[in-house]
Structure 1
Amino acid sequence: DPQPQVVGELRVDEDRVVSLRALLDAVASSEGRFVALGDAGFVALTDEVRGKLDALARAQSVASKGRLGAALLPAVDQWTTGLEVEWSGKLAKRRTEALPDVEVPKTLRADLRDYQREGFQFLARRTTDGTGAILADDMGLGKTVQAIALLLERGPQGPALVVMPTSVQSNWRDELGRFAPSLTVKDADAEAGPNDVVLVSYGMLVADEAALAARSWHTLVFDEAHALKNPTTRRWAAARGMNADATVLLTGTPVENHVGELHALFDVIAPGLLGSRAAFQRAFGIPIARGQRDVAAALRQMVRPLLLRRTKAEVLGELPPKTEMQRTIVPSTEERAFYEAVRRRAQERLVALRSREKGRGQAHIEILSEIMRLRRAAIDPRLVGGPDAPPGGKLAMLVRLVSDLRAEGHRALVFSQFLEVLDLAKEALALEGVVCRRLDGSLNAAERAAEVEAFQGGSGDVFLLSLRAGGVGMNLTGADYVIHLDPWWNPAVEDQATDRAHRIGQERPVTVVRMVTEGTIEEKVLALHGEKRRLYADLVGEADGKGTLDFDQLASLLA
């Protein structure tokens, strides 16, 4: 079916009529209440009508040949409320007919919560009509079991391909066996038919792209789909090149860095729905980056039919409370002097970079390198100056905190972005008799699964995890404390890591501790968190991003 097109006219008076397309073009190129209509003069719009037409103009500007994807009809319906609108027969029927409920498969061996049933209905309807969907529930709300219910419902019609990070492959295999034993898990090179599910990692997706793309999949699921946020990568191109009847993305963070990532995700499930990258950037990316909240609201309305997000606060009143606190470490005189020397060196480097003719791209990379040195010095001087540098107060604070927690029967997850920090932490904790388990990117899938199973089984007082490898897709409810040794640029990444413990299955209150060294770059990174959360609350109803820092913003961190 051809995509719907919004057409209409504005009657200024008996003799003057302006087409809706001309009106939308005029609205897009003007500001304020009065809109110039060429020979037809000016028209004065109320704020409400102006807002609706502006949203419609932006949607039309990214549409192919002015035709909007049928999935955007709910947004158009909202934007035209109060206007005299006539819908064509087929669209009128689609707009008013109630979609039938899809029965949760009886073969699902799980009792879905009410919101999970709603999530299954959403996925089933969107995949049935062929538009695809993004399930963006908060971390820990059971996106996997909702997707498994969908795989059971669609299984008889053909095979499914599920793509995920290596770290969660064993979890998917276990949960398919537990919740959907009627489905058969197959290897990537095996023949697959109805009720078969093939599990592959993102690395395998790229490596075996040609073979996987040559096959026909009835259902395609991407878990931790924020891995597809960058449309310039081979991973994104491989994902977009798969041949599937319907595609579903699962991610707790649909936007991590900037609104263009949302476009990249939608281009995987519904190519072209939000227009070209360039048109989308003009209509939405630039205005939203400039803080235009009305544009963010218009985009949110556009994507709502295909993106479902629920937060834990909304649907899990029975989940134990989560308390967040900050522990500020006051550095010793020696530690402060060491940090200040590293900071001055970085500033001198910055002055040299500003005076050079070399392009800003290379300068950006070099200043990032200096900032990473400074971040390491803020954690522990030995990470920069070697064993002869003064020890940092942060690890001493960690040892005291963990000792107190052990005495009270608590267990903790300890996250850092630096593997060397985990090394120092393990060494310091071992001296106090603390048993640590560890997971980082050097472990293969089987080794990661073994570490998780051991910790969940009660082995170890502390689980040391790298932020990236240990921050997604795992259930670590054996801990009731989460300690972040160093703040990351992106608050969403930290939130994901925290939700390894604060999720369904957790029966105890969870306490989150962020350790920050006073008077260092760490305080400035935390200040960025609040600023960047506000923008993305406008887009998906929850803070999900950090924004991209330019050269001058990075330079300000060295002040």
Structure 2
Amino acid sequence: GSLLRIPWLGKTSWQLAVLDEAQAIKNHAAKQTRAAKQIVAQARIALTGTPIENRLGDLWSIFDFINPGLLGSAKEFTSYTRRLADRPGNPYGPLRDLVRPYILRRLKTDKSVIADLPEKTEVKAFCHLSRKQAALYQQAVKELGAEIAGAEGIRRKGLVLAFLMRFKQICNHPSQWLGDGVWAEGDSGKWARLRELCEVIAAKQEKALVFTQFREVTAPLASFLGGVFGRPGLVLHGETEVKKRRELVRRFQEDESVPFFVLSLKAGGSGLNLTAASHVIHFDRWWNPAVENQATDRAFRIGQTKNVLVHKFVCRGTVEEKIDELIASKRQLSTDLLEGGAELNLTELQDAELLRVVGLDLNAAMRE
């Protein structure tokens, strides 16, 4: 964003250009990506914890900044990686060998890099559906089956994406989908699980970060958690003024009376230091692990002195379990390349397979 706001940066000749959070240029067609690649510099370095967020094309765009031409054109690279995906065994080995000389990889879990960083433990927090959630979910599956029967192309893709969003909203709370403003605790299995978890955190007088991808859920979550903890917390989302964000972070870090911080994933998932928290709760799941890991790293970072417990909420028997499997496959894609997985694109599944993926396993969903 700075390159677009400060034109002289791109017009100056530099000895060295260092691009932090380089995943921001993953979209090679975006204005900020084009601006970054127009920088004149004798040497270029890209810093990122997530070189692959969604697809291998993310890596191509970063390499097109630091070493243009090494991986060919975007079209050539796409064709090359598709051929690699069909290879048996270690499909991305040739690509890994090609980029390895240009990548210096450091992991926080490597004690030779950071000797005193505490442990991070990730756990699944499985949730049941309320009867209201189950009924709304089943109705949505039925409607999806009817609407995609004759749909094709971009219209079908739009329908699938809209229904996937609907399923996730229902899993969070019926009021998010219905828009009725009720937000009754008994209507959501996630609300019940959140109370159970945060009562323990409150009893230990520890702090928690709660991430959701939905801005409209941040206020109801904060209101509910205020009752659980017995005192109010903080909220940050995309509409929070930039100048206010630093004060919110300062209060969370320094004020012991602030027990929790509810953040929208995209607005609060990067660039913030929130090491006062020893719990990170992913109330709903994003489509790829890189974004989730960036959010978790608000607490699990240099300066953290406590062990960090990461709770990932998943509604059993729903599409959320399938999303969890998708996240695992994307993590494997990144691991295959950097350490040496194909992506699952739900919008491209055949109708019968799609309905199987989103279908409700009622026995699993209702089991507490």
What is the TM-score with the length of structure 2 in the denominator? 0.88
CA–CA distance in 1 between the matches of 2:85 and 2:102? 23
CA–CA distance in 1 between the matches of 2:89 and 2:23? 23
Q: Which has the higher contact order (CA 8 A, sep 6+)?
A: 2
Task: Tell me what 1:4 maps to.
Answer: none
Q: Residue 238 of structure 2 contacts residue 264 of structure 2 at CA under 8 Å; is this kept in 1?
A: yes
Task: Tell me what 1:464 maps to.
Answer: 262
CA 1:265–1:364 in 2, change beyond 3 Å: closer, same or farther?
A: same
Letter of the structure 2 residue corresponding to residue 555 of structure 1: L
CA 1:389–1:324 in 2, change beyond 3 Å: closer, same or farther?
A: closer
Cα RMSD for the two superposed structures? 2.3
Q: Residue 215 of structure 2 contacts residue 238 of structure 2 at CA under 8 Å; is this kept in 1?
A: no
Task: Tell me what 1:361 maps to.
Answer: 154
Deviation of residue 532 (structure 1)? 2.4
Task: Tell me what 1:230 maps to.
Answer: 27
Q: After superposition, where does 1:522-541 map in structure 2 within 5 Å?
A: 522-541=320-339
Deviation of residue 347 (structure 1)? 2.4
Q: Residue 161 of structure 2 contacts residue 347 of structure 2 at CA under 8 Å; is this kept in 1?
A: no
Letter of the structure 2 residue corresponding to residue 280 of structure 1: F
2:82 counterpart (286, 303, 306): 286
Task: Tell me what 1:44 maps to.
Answer: none
Question: Does 2:223 match 1:427?
Answer: yes
Question: Does 2:168 match 1:375?
Answer: yes
Post-superposition Cα deviations, 1:409-441, rounded to whole Å, max 9, x if no partner, equal 211010000012212111212234232112211
Post-superposition Cα deviations, 1:108-133, rounded to whole Å, max 9, x if no partner, equal xxxxxxxxxxxxxxxxxxxxxxxxxx
Task: Tell me what 1:245 maps to.
Answer: 42
Secondary structure of 1:496's partner?
A: helix
Task: Tell me what 1:328 maps to.
Answer: 126
Task: Tell me what 1:129 maps to.
Answer: none
**Count of residue pairs the alignment pairs up:** 349
Secondary structure of 1:451's partner?
A: helix
Question: Does 2:192 match 1:393?
Answer: no
CA–CA distance in 2 between the matches of 1:542 and 1:516? 29
Question: Does 2:303 match 1:505?
Answer: yes
Letter of the structure 1 residue corresponding to residue 118 of structure 2: P
CA–CA distance in 1 between the matches of 2:46 and 2:129? 44
Q: After superposition, where does 1:76-475 map in structure 2 within 5 Å?
A: 202=1, 204-209=2-7, 211-283=8-80, 285-290=81-86, 292=88, 294-315=90-111, 316-354=114-152, 360-387=153-180, 391-432=187-228, 433-459=230-256, 460-475=258-273
What is the TM-score with the length of structure 1 in the denominator? 0.59
Deviation of residue 307 (structure 1)? 1.2
Q: Identity of counterpart residues, as a percentage? A: 37
CA–CA distance in 2 between the matches of 1:365 and 1:454? 41
Deviation of residue 243 (structure 1)? 1.6
CA 1:455–1:542 in 2, change beyond 3 Å: closer, same or farther?
A: farther
Deviation of residue 353 (structure 1)? 1.7
Letter of the structure 2 residue corresponding to residue 512 of structure 1: V
Secondary structure of 1:376's partner?
A: helix
CA–CA distance in 2 between the matches of 1:239 and 1:451? 30
Post-superposition Cα deviations, 1:440-490, rounded to whole Å, max 9, x if no partner, equal 111233211111111111351001111111111222110000111011110
Deviation of residue 254 (structure 1)? 0.4
Q: Residue 54 of structure 2 contacts residue 330 of structure 2 at CA under 8 Å; is this kept in 1?
A: no
CA 1:479–1:291 in 2, change beyond 3 Å: closer, same or farther?
A: farther
CA–CA distance in 1 between the matches of 2:300 and 2:41? 34
Secondary structure of 1:318's partner?
A: coil
CA 1:214–1:293 in 2, change beyond 3 Å: closer, same or farther?
A: farther
Letter of the structure 2 residue corresponding to residue 558 of structure 1: V
Question: Does 2:358 match 1:558?
Answer: yes
Q: Residue 331 of structure 1 contacts residue 517 of structure 1 at CA under 8 Å; is this kept in 2?
A: yes
Secondary structure of 1:255's partner?
A: coil
Deviation of residue 308 (structure 1)? 1.0
Q: Residue 219 of structure 2 contacts residue 235 of structure 2 at CA under 8 Å; is this kept in 1?
A: no
CA–CA distance in 2 between the matches of 1:550 and 1:368? 7
CA–CA distance in 1 between the matches of 2:324 and 2:293? 13
Larger Rg: 1
CA 1:483–1:291 in 2, change beyond 3 Å: closer, same or farther?
A: farther
Q: Residue 237 of structure 2 contacts residue 264 of structure 2 at CA under 8 Å; is this kept in 1?
A: yes
Deviation of residue 549 (structure 1)? 4.8
Unaligned runs of 5+ in 2: 360-368
